[in-house]
Amino acid sequence: MMRRLRLGVTLRMLAVLVVLGIAVFPLYWIFTTALTSDSELFGSEPRLIPDLSRFSVFIEALVDGQTLIWLRNSLIVAVGTTVLSIGLGIPLGYALSRFSFRGKVAIGVLLLFTQMLPEALLVVPLFALFRQFGLLDSLQGLILADTAFVLPIVALILKGAIDGVPRELEEAARVDGARPLGVLLRINIPLIAPSIAAAAVIAFFSAWNEYVFAVTFVFDKSLQPASVGLAGFIGEQGTQIQTIMAVAFLFTLPAVAFYLFAQKYVVSGMTAGAVKG
């Protein structure tokens, strides 16, 4: 019995290590490629262990180029999109979940339909609209565009979460004198915190990795996010692969850090009700 138990634990640990290796290997390969010389890069045998003596490529990418500016712009756009989409998605999801009004089903279907539209189809009308309101070549306009694209899925996620909150809790709060806004802030939001964290991860990654809107609406290089700046290293005469990989590695780290930070709240919220007091 003990042998079977140990064997089961060992197999589970091996499975976790395999999955972890598959998830981490692309990031490791980017890091290794950035530290590989041209002769080894185009050689017959790939380098599997990074050459730390070439670590200066990361310092050069940060000091000589506009990498820090691009990362700052990406962070501003991603955080702004996340905050705005969550701030708008919570009341929208609450309205779709708790209120009955004419056209409610049509609005839900319309929100779902917007996720079937590619970004390229929205570029031209958004470009004309942003030019009319002076939102081109600005991070604020890019935040609004990214929010408009990700808000429907955020609202639908939060609607599903609010659907699972018992109405009796809200009725009890109203009996105690709580107003609708107080019910939303004190009852619903704490209970759907894991779903809010999941929606925030989706919104953050959508804005962090977005390219089509960024390359279309922002012309000033000092305002471009890292997704656009990274593509600028690809040239007609030559491409600095090591520099691209170094910037790509730096571009990936904040997103991974945010995911690890938010994952803690998602998991804690999922397990909060697993044990009864």
Same domain for 218 and 101: yes
CB neighbours (10 Å) of residue 275? 6
Same domain for 146 and 65: yes
**pLDDT at position 272, please?**
45
- Which residues 6+ apart lie within 8 Å of 14 measured at CB? none
Same domain for 149 and 77: yes
**Is 277 within the bounds of a domain?**
no
**pLDDT at position 180, please?**
76
**pLDDT at position 274, please?**
41
**Is 90 within the bounds of a domain?**
yes
Q: Up-side HSE of residue 133: CA atoms within 13 Å toward CB?
A: 13
Same domain for 142 and 42: no
**pLDDT at position 88, please?**
93
**Is 173 within the bounds of a domain?**
yes
Q: What is the CATH number of the domain that holds 248?
A: 1.10.3720.10
Same domain for 263 and 129: yes
Of 19, 34, 54, the residue at which a domain comes to its end is 54
Contacts 24+ apart (CB under 8 A), 260-268: 262/197, 262/198, 262/200, 262/201, 262/204, 263/201, 265/193, 265/194, 265/197, 266/194, 266/197, 266/198, 266/201, 268/194
Q: How many domains does the chain have?
A: 2
Same domain for 201 and 172: yes
Alpha-carbon span 193 to 94, nearest angstrom: 14
**Is 234 within the bounds of a domain?**
yes
Same domain for 255 and 228: yes
Q: What is the reported pTM?
A: 0.81
Same domain for 141 and 224: yes
**Is 276 within the bounds of a domain?**
no
Q: Which two tokens stand for residue 1?
A: 């019995």
Q: Please, what sign has the CA dihedral across residues 235, 241, 242, 245?
A: positive
**Is 165 within the bounds of a domain?**
yes
**pLDDT at position 172, please?**
85
**pLDDT at position 275, please?**
41
Of 54, 71, 94, the residue at which a domain comes to its end is 54
Cβ atoms of 150 and 87 closer than 8 Å: no
Same domain for 243 and 155: yes
Same domain for 74 and 173: yes
Domain that holds residue 44: 1-54
**Is 130 within the bounds of a domain?**
yes
Of 39, 54, 69, the residue at which a domain comes to its end is 54
**Is 124 within the bounds of a domain?**
yes
pLDDT (tens digit, 0 to 9) for every residue of the chain, 277 residues total?
666 667 777 888 888 888 878 878 888 888 888 888 777 777 667 777 877 778 888 887 777 668 888 999 999 999 999 999 999 999 988 888 888 778 777 887 887 777 777 778 888 888 999 999 988 999 999 999 999 889 999 998 898 888 888 888 888 888 877 787 888 888 888 888 888 988 998 999 999 989 999 999 998 888 989 888 887 776 655 567 788 888 888 888 888 888 888 777 666 545 444 444 3
Same domain for 5 and 82: no
**pLDDT at position 268, please?**
57
Same domain for 173 and 73: yes
